[in-house]
């Protein structure tokens, strides 16, 4: 059944490619004469509008792991996987109110810099190394793998060449710095949402035709009838995927730890806001939160549709691997392959946009942390601004090269999205515990933070292998509470902590929001409440 891309598809795709590349080059040339510092290169200080910040947050977050991985989880698990998206909308509001003001008031450019100012250089360097390892060996690698898989399945492009092409395309955008990434991400978001909706429409149209529904909207009711277990947001313990999404933990448990760490303490994400004013940063984050509400429509719903069609006789060959095992991650590429010429090119461009934008954002964060927190601090403290920018660009090439070499090893995975979530969670409890108490408890000491940093991976590993029956989200929550207790005990044991000179000065006025922000936040939370009530 594989049709590959036709001439019209290539035309549509190359229009997208030329548009993004040309616009990125124009932005780069426009700002190149004004660029005077490394912070301008890495953060686009004062240059991004709220809509560019919001679009960049989404473009950097939504990638192949969503189109391919989350759609695959939609095929296997159902709508429950959408909690990662819908809970993120609520999380973004919390980050905008409580986290961003602290970063901006303290002129924070990188997460290790915050740890250096709040604690000490040892804590900062330890966590910088952890982040670099995670970003290169888990995030960047998995994005390249899923992207190449999509290109291989949908367009018949050789897997190895697909990895190389995606890496080079991302590098072209990334070497221009954050301003180029931020503004090209606006195009990327428009393309990925439009193309994603096209694929969703096709999936629902296939369901409608297969079951004799009058239109695509009535097909949604058919999906709920044919796959009723796939439309529960809160999984019960007897569900085979309860370990991936353990019931109430997704709304009142450790999902909050996971999301607050990702959106509020993650260089890859929060970096988009660090060069803006507080009002602009908050508007950008709120814009991203509103976009989060529609992401499950373009990544989860097609997976559920593919599941229903598979259960009713379609895709019996395409959904299987060479050993005859069902591969959920094939769901989205299989649907994309059925699009008519032209529309397939648009959907293919959307998928590529998501992959490249996410790769560019991740690579820029790797470059920022390595250059400002490792190279400048320990290798060449007196480096000029131009030299730091050159080092940052070299770091991008090196990181992408390492990821390209490792990516093919991930072919053994069944659901790559769950791989990303689980292994990212190995450092999440420690990171969030250190940041949370660093923000809101002045007494927290550097020694306490260092102990937590050093314990987080050993504890996560021990729980993974000794208590493997515990869902990974719950394990993460337990480890977070253990590390909070450790930090508190170590801090209280130090008499000097009572007058900690590095404690942050927090004022209630920092967290005041505008009336417009409050109204929009209430509206978003109301929509989330309704969604969970309807699909409980």
Hunting for tokens 């207790």 — which residue is that? Answer: 485
| pTM score, whole prediction | 0.85
Closest to 180 measured CA to CA, from 171, 167, 192, 168 = 171
What pLDDT shows up at residue 21? 75
- Residue 372, burial from CB neighbour count under 10 angstroms (0-12, 13-18, 19+): buried
First to last CA, the chain: 37
Show the domains of the chain with their CATH numbers.
7-28+46-417 (1.20.1730.10)
- 441 backbone dihedrals φ, ψ, rounded to 5°: -130, 105
Q: Residue 473's CB: how many other CB atoms inside 10 A? A: 24
> Which residues touch 69 (CB under 8 Å, ≥6 apart)?
142, 146, 329, 415, 416, 417, 418, 420
pLDDT of residue 1: 45
CB atoms near residue 177 (< 10 Å):
27
The helix/strand/coil state of 518 is helix
Kindly tell me the number of DSSP H helices and DSSP E strands found in the chain.
Answer: 27, 0
Dist CA 365 CA 370 (whole Å):
8
Question: Per-10-residue mean pLDDT for the chain, 536 residues long?
Answer: 71 82 72 57 63 82 75 91 93 95 87 91 90 87 82 79 88 69 72 83 90 87 92 90 86 91 87 85 94 92 92 83 78 81 79 79 87 90 86 91 89 63 79 94 94 92 85 90 96 90 84 94 96 93
508 exposure class (CB count in 10 Å sphere: 0-12, 13-18, 19+): exposed
Between CA 430 and CA 478 the distance in angstroms is 11
**Residues in contact with 96: Cβ distance below 8 Å, sequence separation at least 6, in sequence order:** 281, 282, 285, 286, 289, 513, 517
Per-residue buried b or exposed e for 45-68, using 16+ beta carbons within 10 Å of the residue's own CB: bebbebebbbbbbbbbbbbbbbbb
């Amino acid at each position: 059944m594989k049709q590959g891309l036709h001439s019209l598809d290539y035309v549509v795709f190359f229009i997208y490619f030329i548009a993004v590349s040309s616009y990125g080059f124009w932005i780069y040339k426009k700002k190149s004469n004004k660029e005077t510092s490394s912070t301008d290169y890495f953060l686009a200080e004062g240059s991004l509008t709220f809509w560019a910040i919001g679009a960049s947050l989404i473009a950097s977050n939504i990638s192949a792991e969503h189109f391919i991985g989350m759609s695959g989880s939609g095929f296997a698990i159902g709508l429950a996987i959408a909690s990662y998206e819908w809970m993120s909308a609520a999380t973004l509001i919390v980050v905008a109110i409580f986290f961003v003001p602290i970063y901006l008031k303290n002129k924070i450019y990188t997460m290790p810099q915050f740890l250096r100012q709040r604690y000490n250089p040892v804590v900062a360097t330890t966590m910088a190394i952890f982040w670099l390892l995670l970003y290169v060996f888990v995030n960047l690698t998995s994005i390249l793998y899923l992207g190449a898989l999509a290109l291989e399945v949908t367009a018949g492009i050789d897997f190895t060449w697909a990895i190389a092409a995606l890496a080079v395309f991302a590098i072209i955008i990334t070497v221009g710095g954050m301003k180029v990434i931020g503004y090209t991400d606006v195009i990327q978001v428009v393309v990925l949402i439009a193309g994603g909706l096209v694929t969703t429409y096709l999936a629902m149209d296939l369901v409608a035709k297969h079951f004799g529904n009058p239109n695509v909207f009535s097909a949604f009711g058919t999906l709920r009838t044919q796959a009723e277990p796939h439309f529960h947001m809160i999984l019960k313990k007897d569900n085979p995927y309860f370990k991936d999404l353990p019931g109430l933990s997704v709304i009142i448990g450790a999902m909050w730890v996971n999301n607050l760490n990702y959106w509020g303490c993650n260089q890859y994400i929060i970096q988009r806001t660090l060069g803006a004013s507080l009002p602009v940063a908050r508007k950008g984050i709120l814009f991203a939160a509103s976009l989060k509400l529609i992401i499950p429509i373009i990544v989860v719903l097609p997976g559920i549709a593919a599941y229903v069609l598979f259960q009713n006789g379609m895709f019996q060959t395409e959904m299987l691997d060479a050993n005859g095992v069902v591969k959920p991650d094939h769901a989205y590429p299989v649907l994309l392959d059925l699009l008519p010429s032209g529309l397939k090119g648009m959907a293919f461009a959307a998928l590529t946009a998501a992959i490249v934008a996410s790769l560019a954002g991740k690579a820029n964060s790797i470059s920022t942390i390595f250059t400002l927190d490792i190279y400048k601090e320990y290798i060449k403290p007196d480096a000029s601004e131009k030299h730091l920018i050159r080092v940052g660009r070299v770091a991008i090439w090196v990181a992408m090269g390492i990821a390209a070499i490792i990516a093919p090893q991930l072919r053994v995975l069944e659901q790559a999205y769950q791989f990303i979530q689980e292994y990212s969670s190995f450092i999440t409890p420690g990171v969030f515990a250190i940041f949370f108490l660093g923000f809101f408890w002045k007494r927290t000491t550097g020694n306490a933070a260092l102990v937590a940093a050093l314990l987080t991976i050993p504890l996560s590993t021990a729980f993974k292998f000794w208590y493997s029956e515990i869902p990974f989200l719950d394990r993460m929550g337990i480890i977070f509470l253990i590390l909070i207790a450790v930090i508190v005990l170590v801090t209280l044991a130090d008499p000097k902590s009572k007058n900690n000179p590095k404690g942050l000065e927090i004022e209630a006025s920092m967290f005041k929001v505008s009336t417009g922000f409050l109204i929009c936040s209430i509206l978003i939370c109301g929509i989330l409440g309704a969604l969970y009530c309807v699909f409980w």
